Amino acid sequence: MAAAARNGRKISLPTVERLSIYRHALEELHHEGIESVHSHQLAALVGVTPAQLRRDLATFGTFGNIARGYDVRQMSDTISRIFGTDELQNLAIVGVGYLGQALLAYQGFEGRGFRIVAAFDVDPDKTGRVFAGRRCYPLDELEEVISEQAIRMLVLTSHPEGLQDIIDRAAAAGVRGFLNFVPKMTTVPSGCFIEPIDISAKLEKLSFLSGREASSPTRSANKP
Amino acid sequence: MAAAARNGRKISLPTVERLSIYRHALEELHHEGIESVHSHQLAALVGVTPAQLRRDLATFGTFGNIARGYDVRQMSDTISRIFGTDELQNLAIVGVGYLGQALLAYQGFEGRGFRIVAAFDVDPDKTGRVFAGRRCYPLDELEEVISEQAIRMLVLTSHPEGLQDIIDRAAAAGVRGFLNFVPKMTTVPSGCFIEPIDISAKLEKLSFLSGREASSPTRSANKP
DNA sequence: CCCCAACTGTGATTTAATTCACTGTGAAAC
DNA sequence: GTTTCACAGTGAATTAAATCACAGTTGGGG
């Protein structure tokens, strides 16, 4: 059965991160009309070893038919269920600058189980307006809108000032996850999670890797 | 001495990633006028253990004065040198959509050692125009501009179609690093590096973490 | 001038992640 | 029906990362 052992089992974060990659590859296979796939095929596609793929999946239960391999559709659905994205989750964006507007315009979230339902900003020129179909609220109404629209996660693209306060208020209002593009040190209350995305840091990593003269890469972002 | 052991030593990628965080915290300390810092102070600031911080730094040589701790300015400079961002590195953006324009408008890269000098797009309505001070070239001129402007890294925000071809051409023209926002499986020639940023994947991770009911987080993005 | 306190750098240890290697299974071939 | 083959799942082994714990050092205080 595909039922995942989601009770208090110890699940490593690297595994969860790879799950996203697997699911993405499975979606592509599904689009190509492929219905089942073997561990070594999928592993080659995403650049991991077959053993690791099998180990990752085994964390959540047993999926595969021995002779047919893994059912593409079923495995994709199961991963969605593990993520909790089998039903659309409501997000809001804090900070309607260039990046915020880019995210509001991005069409790819719904296919991954997320829906941006609101935006917030301090700028009175922006509040009240509608961006890509979503209303921009003043920050005063943060708690109210979070509660009304059942917002589970916040995407932070605002200015650094007052960021910590926004996080604390949102957490108190029931938000548990924060995706943070703002290069600023923050903390979240226990039970909440924050995932920083530091674009400059990624560039620094690339610069570091590129800089060492064509020596053996310790580990690359893809297969060597 | 602060001279780093940058000869063929084995350096773990997790360490390099934390270096970005350390440097960022050091910049903040520098702004506050603080000149030296002890491992336990800096460690607390960024959410790692003092031992890990010391171990990370020791990878690159020996920095610290035992009684004064680490010299903020010197250590920040040393990290820049390790990254190779002590001199500005030229970047170009491929794909001048919402995200591409947001990155072009972002003011924070120069302070981290990066300068966007050009943009590329397929759309004839965009090529020839200037976005936030940078010219947008047609993709035909990719090799030419890379070579003329000494572009070391590419930021990919285009449509998935033709992405692999762009990577291959850019790599042949001398680009060694790619920051990829496009949710598409790609490969790079050996000696090149690609760093994917999958925003939806980060949201999935957050959703997974939030979903498990307030149980002990296996590991969080910040200190527990 | 010498002792004390506190810190860095690092060998040793522990913990986590990955890979290896084999077992049992199920479908297909004959 | 039986044999064969290839694969999923998994304990065991290996490798990598993080933590512990201490030796050696340096500045400050008496």
Which are the contacts of B195, defined by CB distance < 8 A and separation ≥ 6? A202, A205, A206, A221, B177, B178, B179, B180
Q: What is the pLDDT of residue A9?
A: 62
CB contact residues (below 8 A), chain B span 84-103, against chain A: 84-85, 89, 91, 97-99, 101-103
Cβ atoms of residues A147 and A173 within 8 Å: yes
CA nearest to A16 within chain B: B205
pLDDT band, residue B40 (cuts 50/70/90): very high
Cβ atoms within 10 Å, residue A184: 16
Buried b (16+ CB within 10 A) or exposed e, A5-25: ebeeeebeeebbbbbbbbbbb
Quick one: which of B197, B117, B113 has its CA closest to B156?
B197
Q: What is the pLDDT of residue B213?
A: 60
> What separation in angstroms does the CA of A144 have from each of A83, A128, A149, A169?
26, 15, 9, 11
Interface contact B6-A212, CB threshold 8 A: yes
Q: What is the pLDDT of residue A136?
A: 98
> What separation in angstroms does the CA of B96 have from each of A90, A209, B140, B156, B186?
28, 26, 15, 10, 20
Task: Verify if strand C has an atom below 7 Å from the CB of B38.
Answer: yes
Residues of chain A in contact with residue B197, where contact means CB-CB under 8 angstroms, are: 197, 199, 202
- Locate tokens 């702004």: which residue? B31
A75-99 pLDDT tens trace: 999 999 999 999 999 999 999 999 9
Task: Verify if strand D has an atom below 7 Å from the CB of B49.
Answer: yes
User: Averaged over B125-153, what is the pLDDT?
Assistant: 97
Statement: residue A218 has pLDDT above 50:
no
Q: What is the pLDDT of residue A124?
A: 97
Strand-pair partners of A62 = none
CA nearest to A7 within chain B: B212
Task: Verify if strand C has an atom below 7 Å from the CB of B219.
Answer: yes
Nucleotide nearest to B41 (CA to C1'): C7
pLDDT band, residue B42 (cuts 50/70/90): very high
A147-160 pLDDT tens trace: 999 999 999 999 99
Q: What is the pLDDT of residue B4?
A: 38
Task: State chain A's mean pLDDT as an integer.
Answer: 90
Cβ atoms of residues A58 and A5 within 8 Å: no
Cβ atoms of residues A27 and B208 within 8 Å: no
Where do the H-state alpha helices sit in chain A? Answer: 13-31, 39-46, 50-58, 72-83, 98-105, 142-148, 163-172, 199-211
Q: How far is the CA of A66 from the C1' of C25 (A)?
A: 7
Chain B nearest C-alpha distance from A12 (Å): 7
Beta strands in chain B (DSSP E): 36-37, 70-71, 89-94, 114-121, 130-131, 134-138, 153-156, 177-180, 193-196
Find how far residue A68's CA is from the centre of its chain.
30
Statement: residue A6 has pLDDT above 70:
no
User: Averaged over B45-49, what is the pLDDT?
Assistant: 96
B81-93 pLDDT tens trace: 999 999 999 999 9
Chain A nearest C-alpha distance from B65 (Å): 26
User: Averaged over B35-49, what is the pLDDT?
Assistant: 95
Nearest CB partner across the interface for A207, out of B85, B219, B224:
B85
Look at residue A194 and give its three-state secondary structure: strand
Q: What is the pLDDT of residue B10?
A: 81
Task: Verify if strand D has an atom below 7 Å from the CB of A95.
Answer: no
Q: What is the pLDDT of residue B221?
A: 44
- Interface-testing mutation among B156, B209, B216, with chain A (most A C-beta atoms within 10 A): B209
Which comes out higher in pLDDT, residue A96 or B217? A96
CB contact residues (below 8 A), chain B span 142-161, against chain A: 152-153
Residue by residue, what is the 3-state secondary structure of B130-157? EECCEEEEEHHHHHHHHHHCCCCEEEEC
Is A107 an interface residue toward B (CB < 8 Å)?
A: no
pLDDT band, residue B9 (cuts 50/70/90): low
Structure tokens at A100: 């915020």
> In chain A, what percentage of residues exceed pLDDT 90?
83
Phi/psi of residue B117, each to 5°? Answer: -110, -15
A51-69 pLDDT tens trace: 999 999 999 877 777 778 8
Interface contact A211-B89, CB threshold 8 A: no
Cβ atoms of residues B180 and B194 within 8 Å: yes
Task: Verify if strand C has an atom below 7 Å from the CB of A58.
Answer: no
Nucleotide nearest to A52 (CA to C1'): C18
Residues of chain A in contact with residue B10, where contact means CB-CB under 8 angstroms, are: 218
Which comes out higher in pLDDT, residue B222 or A198? A198
Cβ atoms of residues B120 and B92 within 8 Å: yes
Residues of chain A in contact with residue B99, where contact means CB-CB under 8 angstroms, are: 99, 102, 106
Statement: residue B157 has pLDDT above 70:
yes
> In chain B, what percentage of residues exceed pLDDT 70?
91
Q: What is the pLDDT of residue A149?
A: 98
Chain A nearest C-alpha distance from B202 (Å): 7
Cβ atoms of residues A131 and A119 within 8 Å: yes
Task: State chain B's mean pLDDT as an integer.
Answer: 90
Statement: residue A214 has pLDDT above 90:
no
Nearest CB partner across the interface for A202, out of B19, B195, B219:
B195
Statement: residue B168 has pLDDT above 80:
yes
Task: Verify if strand D has an atom below 7 Å from the CB of A38.
Answer: yes
Structure tokens at A151: 């917002």
CB pairs under 8 A between A and B: 210
pLDDT band, residue A2 (cuts 50/70/90): very low
pLDDT band, residue A7 (cuts 50/70/90): very low
DSSP string, A104-168: HH---SGGGTEEEEEEEES-TTTTT-EETTEEEEEGGGHHHHHHHTT--EEEE-S-STTHHHHHH
User: Averaged over A138-151, what is the pLDDT?
Assistant: 98
CB contact residues (below 8 A), chain A span 14-73, against chain B: 16-17, 19-21, 23-25, 28, 45-46
Angle at A200 between CA A163 and CA B112, to 5 degrees: 100
> In chain B, what percentage of residues exceed pLDDT 90?
84
Find how far residue A130's CA is from the centre of its chain.
25
pLDDT band, residue A213 (cuts 50/70/90): low
